[in-house]
Structure 1
Amino acid sequence: MVRSPVLSTSIFKVNVAGIQKVDDMLAAEEPLEIRISYSAFAKKIQKSISVTMRTPGNDFELATGFLLTEGIIKNAADIIGIKHCNGLHENVVRVEIKDDLQLDLSKLERNFYTTSSCGVCGKSSIEAVRTVCRLPVEKNDNFQFPSEIIYSLPLTLRTQQEIFKNTGGLHACALFDTFGNLLLTKEDVGRHNALDKLIGAALIDNTLPLNKSLLLLSGRASFELIQKAWMAGIKIVAAVGAPSSLAVQMAEEFGMTLIGFLRDQAFNIYTGSHRIKISL
C-alpha cells in the first residue's frame, strides 16, 4: 500500500473572532532513496545515488526523471526494471540499468553548482551542465504559443492541483499544448521533484522529446529547472514567479523561451520572444 500524499492533523485557527480547534491537512514529506543496479567487472553492483525529500507517490516516475535529467540514462530502454526495495512501504527505489550502458557516475557529482548559494559564476555553471545535457534546441523554428492561451494557464493548473487544494503546501508543474489543453501535471513538496516526476512519466510513456509543449511552473524559474526542461527537449518554460539570472542566461544560450511573472493576464518574456504570438 502506497503512503498517502496528505496527512490529517488538528490545529488551532486564530482570527479576530477568537480561537477554534479544527481539522487540517498537511502535505506529506518523506525521504526517497534512489539506487541503481548495474554490472561492472563481471559482478552486479548496487549504488545509492540520491536521497531527496519528496511527496510520496509517483516514485518510479521521479526516479526515472531524475536519471534522465542527470544524464545517467538517455531513454526508457536503458532501464531493465524498477521497484521499491523490501515492499511498497519502503522509501527506497532501485532502478536496474541495462548491462551494456556506459555509466558515467561522475555526472552525479554536480552539487557544486546546483545550489543558489554556491558562489560559482554563471558561465562555469552552464559549462558544467553541458557535460550532461542534450544538444541545444533549434532557435529558428516556427513553433508558437498564443499569448491569450498563456494567460489562462495558471488558473487551469491551479484547478488541477488536488493536493494543493487540501494543503496549500506543494509545488506543481504542467505541460500544455498550443490550444491550452492540459497534457500532464505533477505535484511535490520539492519543485525539482515535481518536474522530475513529470519528465519521468513522459519518458515512460515514450512521449519525449517534449518539443511541442509549454512547461508551466507554479513558482519561480531556477537554473536547475531550466536545465531539466532542456534535457526533456522543452522549448518554452513559463513560471508564475520570477526567474533567476542564471536561468535567464541559460535559456538565452540554449535557445529556449523563458517567461516569468505569469499572473493577472500579464507576463514577462526574458528570452525567445519569437515563440510567443502576441494577440492584441
Structure 2
Amino acid sequence: MAGRLTRRTKVTRFAPDGTSTVREDALAVEEPLEIRVGGTSLSVTMRSPGDDFDLVAGFLVSEGVIWSADQLVSMRFCAGTDDNGLQTFNVIDAELSADTPPLDVSLERHVYTSSSCGICGTASIDAVHKAAHFGHLDDASSWTGELLGSLPDRLREGQKVFDRTGGVHAAGLFDASGALLCLREDVGRHNAVDKVVGWALREGRLPLTGTVLQVSGRASFELVQKAHMAGIPVLAAVSAPSSLAVEHAESAGMTLLGFSRDGGFNAYAGPHRIC
C-alpha cells in the first residue's frame, strides 16, 4: 500500500548557511479518480491511490445516494490507460441495487474536484439535512475528556504515509472505548473521511452510532456533512472549525471538537456527550 501511495524524487536541500545538498525525498502520490454510477460519470476527484472502493462507497454515502451496504451491488475498475498503455486504475463504475432511489441528475457534476475540495456546490445546511438518511443524531453515547484528548496521538501513531512524506491527511474512526476501528490517509482530507465511511458501509456498520471521527486537519463544513451522513455523532479535528461547520453540527445534533491536541480540545457543539 505505502509503495503505491509514495514516489521517490530528487530534491536540492538548501541550508541557512547557503550550502546545498542533493538527496532523495518521498512524495505523496496524487492521481485523478473518475467515479461512475451505472456507466454515468458522477465526479472526478484527485486522491491518493489505494482503498479506492472505500473512497467511492464513502463518496456515494456523503452525497446521499446510498446508506446501506445492500444498495451497493458491485464496483469495478474500468479500462483506463496512461501514455505508455498501462492500466491506470483511475476509473471506477459502481452498480446500485434496483430498489435504490434514482440518481439525482443534479449530482452529475462533470467537473474537476481538487484534493482540497469536498462538496463544492452544496448551497446550504438545509440541502444536506434533506439528504441525510439518518436524520438528526440523537446518539446518547458519552466519552470522557481524557479519552477524547488522547485520540490525536492515537491517530498520529497510525499515519505511516505521513511519516514518509509529510503530505497527507488522515481520518480515524474510534469506538466508545477508544479502540481504532479504521484509519485512512489521503492527499485530500475529504477523501480520507470518505474512505473511512466507505469502509464502514461495506462492513455493514452504518449508521456509525457510538463512534468518534478524529481528523488531522481543520473541521470544515464538508467534513461535518460527511460525518452526519454516516451517522457519526462526534467529529474531532486538530485544527479549527469553520463557522458553517459549527452551525451544521449544532443543527444535526453532533458534537464538534476543534484544536484537539496535547490532551485538550474546544467543544464547539454538543458538549453534553463529554463527561
Q: TM-score, normalised by structure 2?
A: 0.89
Identity of aligned residues (%): 47
What residue in structure 2 maps to residue 99 of structure 1?
A: 98
Is the aligned partner of 1:5 residue 2:8?
A: no
What residue in structure 1 maps to residue 211 of structure 2?
A: 213
Q: Quote the RMSD (CA, aligned, Å).
A: 2.2
Give CA deviations for 1:192-215 in whole Å, capped at 9, x if unaligned.
Answer: 111111000011011121111111
> Which residues of 2 match residues 55-94 of structure 1 at below 5 A?
55-86=48-79, 89-94=88-93
What residue in structure 1 maps to residue 15 of structure 2?
A: 15
State the distance in 1 between where 2:206 and 2:271 align. 24
State the distance in 2 between where 1:265 and 1:60 align. 34
CA distance 1:257–1:107, shift in 2 (3 Å): farther
State the distance in 2 between where 1:257 and 1:185 align. 20
1:3·1:89 contact (CA, 8 Å) conserved in 2? Answer: no
State the distance in 2 between where 1:102 and 1:265 align. 44
1:50 aligned to 43, 50, 54, which one? 43
Give CA deviations for 1:155-203 in whole Å, capped at 9, x if unaligned.
Answer: 1111101100000000111011233221111011111111111000011
> Which residues of 2 match residues 155-194 of structure 1 at below 5 A?
155-194=153-192
Measure how far apart 1:3 and its partner are. 7.7
Measure how far apart 1:106 and its partner are. 3.7
2:67·2:230 contact (CA, 8 Å) conserved in 1? Answer: no
Task: State the AA in 2 paired with 1:97.
Answer: L
Helix, strand or coil: the match of 1:104?
Answer: coil
CA distance 1:95–1:109, shift in 2 (3 Å): closer
Poorly superposed stretches of 4+, deviation over 4 Å: none
Task: State the AA in 1 paired with 2:34.
Answer: E
What residue in structure 1 maps to residue 34 of structure 2?
A: 33
CA distance 1:30–1:3, shift in 2 (3 Å): farther
Helix, strand or coil: the match of 2:9?
Answer: strand
CA distance 1:22–1:3, shift in 2 (3 Å): closer
Task: State the AA in 2 paired with 1:24.
Answer: D
Task: State the AA in 1 paired with 2:32.
Answer: P
State the distance in 2 between where 1:86 and 1:212 align. 40
1:5·1:28 contact (CA, 8 Å) conserved in 2? Answer: yes
CA distance 1:202–1:106, shift in 2 (3 Å): same
Is the aligned partner of 1:152 residue 2:145?
A: no
CA distance 1:132–1:5, shift in 2 (3 Å): same
Aligned residues, how many? 260
Helix, strand or coil: the match of 2:266?
Answer: strand
1:2·1:56 contact (CA, 8 Å) conserved in 2? Answer: no
State the distance in 2 between where 1:35 and 1:254 align. 29
2:42·2:108 contact (CA, 8 Å) conserved in 1? Answer: no
State the distance in 2 between where 1:86 and 1:192 align. 26
1:248·1:258 contact (CA, 8 Å) conserved in 2? Answer: yes
**Structure 1 unaligned runs (5+)?**
38-45
Helix, strand or coil: the match of 1:72?
Answer: coil
What residue in structure 2 maps to residue 42 of structure 1?
A: none
1:70·1:107 contact (CA, 8 Å) conserved in 2? Answer: no
Greater shift, 9-18 or 47-56, is seen at: 9-18
Measure how far apart 1:268 and its partner are. 0.5
What residue in structure 1 maps to residue 262 of structure 2?
A: 264
CA distance 1:219–1:65, shift in 2 (3 Å): same
Measure how far apart 1:85 and its partner are. 0.7
State the distance in 2 between where 1:221 and 1:242 align. 6
2:193·2:223 contact (CA, 8 Å) conserved in 1? Answer: yes
What residue in structure 1 maps to residue 253 of structure 2?
A: 255
Measure how far apart 1:109 and its partner are. 5.9
Helix, strand or coil: the match of 2:239?
Answer: coil
